[in-house]
């Protein structure tokens, strides 16, 4: 069996899908994208795919290493996201060849289902209490929210109070056992991150996400010293080598590799297993589409330390289309009592509605993340 051809589809709201076909007709799907850089990743996928046409798609480790190591300049968000989508598609093909879900090829299930969380509040968080309660009433048991809008290195305590009021509204409306993840989103610089981390303890959140930018991961030490809340990070880290340093430093409690950014199934399985050796949990990042989510669930199924899965159904970015639109059977992502069942169909476990993908690719997208400014005109972290 050989890799024969590939196609890419830029589809709303902000996703890129990759279809890889073999010479015996098997098809695999992947989701290689960086939010806001879909066209750039698309070009990188084409450069990489052109080098593996004619190769045996079953040799995933060999192809992965060729695509990573044969380039003198390696890694980073673009190349690793391109590689991630190719890797997902090859695993989809391999599962279909053996008529088995990917998790069986990775060693089998460690669980039957994985807890999921939903987003509330949008980029500029508002009405989070009511939104969380609405989700709770549908069976969701945990949510994540952006903590703040723009924050300067040193900023007003009224903004801190506003964060506390929003989190308090979720806790009051949804109860003590409802999960609350609070995403600092890299917006909060070290001085204010220490303040917020300490003040938020009273609400007993699930985790604080990205309280430091990944280029400032050394700051996690000082932030962790100010709080007992679990620290989560990793969505903007792209390889086992980056996670190695993070885990060795010892100030992270939950890692969040993205299976569409950090080298795909092959690399993220290794990253999450590395974290297990440090007694660190995993909650894969996935505000993306159905292929990325399916890949996450396949890996989650095999990892003892996977504790919760992000998913994008209803997220504020999904304008015009959502994850269920592109699959033929929406029941595969049915959430019951806050969990999703492990996907047991061959490959990634989902069937893509290719006709609809082609239709929506004619619309496409040119999604860009917002550019925020502080009052003084300087660039704010988004």
Catalytic residues: 185, 285
In DSSP terms, 7 is beta-bridged to: 19
Pairwise CA distance, residues 182 & 178, whole Å: 13
Tokens 């996703």 identify what position?
15
Coil vs helix vs strand at 18 = strand
The token pair at 126 is 């508002």
CA torsion, points 198, 250, 307, 256, in degrees to nearest 10? 90
How many Cα atoms sit within 13 Å of 99 on the Cβ side? 0
Give the integer Cα–Cα distance in Å for 51 and 40: 18
Dihedral sign for Cα 82, 280, 350, 131, please: negative
73/62 Cα distance (integer angstroms): 18
CA distance 239 to 126: 34
Count other Cβ atoms within 10 Å, centred on residue 278. 15
Assigned token pair, 11: 């589809």
d(CA 232, CA 236): 12
Sign of CA dihedral 119, 37, 242, 67: positive
CA–CA dist 183, 145 (Å, integer): 6
Would you say 233 and 212 are in contact if contact means Cβ atoms under 8 Å apart? yes
Alpha-carbon gap, residue 312 to 323, rounded angstroms: 7
Q: How far apart are CA 163 and CA 74, in angstroms?
A: 39
Q: Which of 10, 81, 23, 20 is nearest to 49 (CA)?
A: 20
Which helix (DSSP H) or strand (DSSP E) does residue 6 occupy? strand 3-11
Other beta carbons within 10 angstroms of residue 250's beta carbon come to: 12
């Amino acid at each position: 069996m050989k890799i024969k051809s590939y196609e890419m589809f830029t589809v709303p709201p902000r996703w890129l899908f990759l279809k890889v076909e073999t010479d015996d007709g098997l098809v695999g799907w992947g989701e290689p994208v960086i939010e806001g850089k879909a066209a750039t990743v698309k070009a990188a996928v084409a450069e990489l795919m052109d080098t593996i046409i004619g190769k045996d798609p079953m040799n995933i480790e060999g192809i992965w290493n060729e695509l990573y190591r044969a380039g003198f300049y390696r890694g980073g968000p673009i190349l690793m996201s391109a590689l991630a989508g190719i890797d997902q598609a090859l695993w989809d093909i391999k599962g279909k060849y053996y008529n088995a879900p990917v998790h069986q090829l990775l060693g089998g299930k460690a669980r039957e289902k994985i807890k999921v969380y939903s987003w509330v509040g949008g980029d500029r968080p508002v009405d989070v209490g009511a939104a969380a309660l609405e989700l709770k009433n549908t069976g969701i048991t945990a949510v994540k929210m952006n903590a703040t809008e723009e924050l300067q290195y040193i900023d007003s305590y009224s903004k801190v109070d506003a964060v506390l009021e929003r989190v308090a509204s979720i806790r009051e409306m949804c109860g003590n056992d409802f999960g609350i993840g609070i995403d600092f989103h890299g917006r909060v610089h070290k001085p204010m991150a220490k303040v917020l981390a300490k003040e938020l303890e009273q609400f007993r959140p699930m985790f604080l996400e990205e309280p430091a930018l990944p280029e400032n991961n050394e700051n996690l030490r000082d932030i962790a010293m100010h709080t007992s809340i679990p620290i989560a990070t990793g969505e903007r880290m792209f390889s086992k080598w980056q996670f190695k340093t993070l885990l060795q430093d010892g100030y992270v409690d939950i890692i969040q590799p993205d299976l569409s950014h950090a080298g795909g199934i092959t690399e993220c399985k290794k990253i999450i297993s590395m974290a297990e050796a440090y007694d660190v949990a995993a909650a894969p990042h996935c505000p993306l589409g159905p292929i990325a989510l399916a890949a996450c669930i396949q890996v989650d199924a095999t990892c003892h330390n996977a504790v919760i899965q992000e998913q994008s159904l209803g997220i504020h970015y999904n304008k015009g289309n959502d994850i269920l639109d592109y699959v033929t059977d929406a029941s595969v992502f049915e959430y019951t009592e806050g969990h999703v069942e492990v996907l047991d169909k061959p490959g990634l476990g989902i069937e893509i509605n290719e006709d609809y993908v082609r239709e929506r690719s004619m619309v496409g997208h040119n999604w860009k993340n917002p550019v925020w400014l502080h009052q003084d005109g300087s660039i704010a972290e988004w």
